[in-house]
A and B are shown apart, each in its own frame.
Chain A
Amino acid sequence: MKSAVILFPGINRENDAIAALEQATGTKPTVVWHGETELPKTDIIMVPGGFSYGDYLRCGAMAAKSPIMRAVAERAKAGVTILGVCNGFQILTEAGLLPGALMRNASLKFICKNTHLKIENTNTRFTNQYKTGEVVDYPVAHHDGNFFADSETLDRLEGEGRVVLRYCDANGVVDPATNLNGSQRNIAGIINEAGNVLGMMPHPENAIDPLHGGTDGRNLFKSLVEAAS
């Protein structure tokens, strides 16, 4: 199984993405630089986290317009599995591959800690190895993870089962008190209409080794492999 990791200037989580994909697929992913215009043929594309272009203008705005993103958009249309984490999620929304936008955290603080998440939909190629309603523990590290979309879009996302992850507590309680960053309806991750593109703020690639403090993220990558094989 082949995968690719897209690299923009200012990205700093690419090695974590590479490690997670290699662990799950058994093959080292190809790293593709932002200035490239073509992608190798792969089953999975990951847009990792970091601070592309120093978060100038808006997080992900510049990266979303870089040459490689045209190729990524084509692959998205062709149904290739695309995972955007953290800055990767911001880039995918800025590129129009996912709806909504990620705004400054409601607390205005950079949040770097572990958080609980509820897996809301297991019928996706990203979550098929989890149980519905399962509560997982992933790290988050972001300043702009406050998901916003108009209420019509939110209702549509909910109605189509496209809200895949929500911030919650250890018991799976989803309410304003367990809303990490002010995201509307506690949304931490969504998929596109076709179900092949997932964007999420938390970092599953940083929960794949006991040394990370937990391995809850492994099943996300295992899900990708299951779906593609």
Chain B
Amino acid sequence: MKARVHVTLKNGVLDPQGKAVHHALQGLGFAGVNDVRQGKFIELELDGSDVEKARAEVKEMCEKLLANTVIEDYSIELA
């Protein structure tokens, strides 16, 4: 089973990297971009087929290591 984890900065946390990317896109002529937020994508290959068990485990991984919940939110997709 694969778990896909998206880690993004919380609302209200400034994202200087996203801002720089936004500026660069504007410089390239992409005028229709209102905002850019940069995050991380982490793909995990897991044992077993119990989706709920996997979800609980990946959630624990996010809380303990993959995300810093002081500044980041995370979402988990299982497939």
Chain A interface (Cβ < 8 Å from any Cβ of B) = 57-58, 61-62, 65, 93-94, 99-101, 103-108, 146, 148-150, 182
Contact = CB atoms under 8 A, between A and B. Distances in A.
Given A57-B65, A65-B64, A148 B71 contact: yes
A102 B30 CA distance: 31
Interface in B50-69: 64-66, 68
Contacts of A62: 65
A94 B20 contact: no
A103 B20 contact: no
A146 B9 CA distance: 14
A220 B14 CA distance: 32
Contacts of B71: 101, 103, 148
Size range of the chain B interface in the assembly: 10 to 19
Given A57-B65, A182-B16, 20 more contacts: A58-B68, A62-B65, A65-B65, A99-B70, A101-B68, A101-B70, A103-B13, A103-B71, A105-B16, A106-B16, A108-B17, A108-B20, A146-B16, A148-B13, A148-B14, A148-B70, A148-B71, A149-B70, A150-B70, A182-B14
Contacts of B16: 103-108, 146, 182
**Could you tell me the dominant secondary structure of chain A's interface residues?**
loop
Q: Shortest 7 CB-CB distances between A and B: which pairs?
A: A101-B70, A101-B71, A106-B16, A108-B16, A101-B68, A104-B16, A108-B20
Interface of B: 13-14, 16-17, 20, 40, 64-66, 68, 70-71
A182 B68 CA distance: 19
Contacts of A146: 16
Contacts of A93: 70
Nearest to B20: A108
A100 B70 contact: yes
Contacts of B40: 57
Contact of A57 (B20, B66, B70): B66
Contacts of B70: 93, 99-101, 148-150
A58 B40 CA distance: 10
16 contacts: A57-B40, A57-B66, A61-B65, A62-B65, A65-B65, A101-B68, A101-B71, A104-B17, A106-B14, A107-B16, A108-B16, A108-B17, A148-B14, A148-B70, A149-B70, A150-B70
A170 B25 CA distance: 38
B67 to A, nearest CB: 9
Contacts of B68: 58, 61, 94, 101
A58 B68 CA distance: 8
Nearest to A103: B71
B9 to A, nearest CB: 8
A98 to B, nearest CB: 11
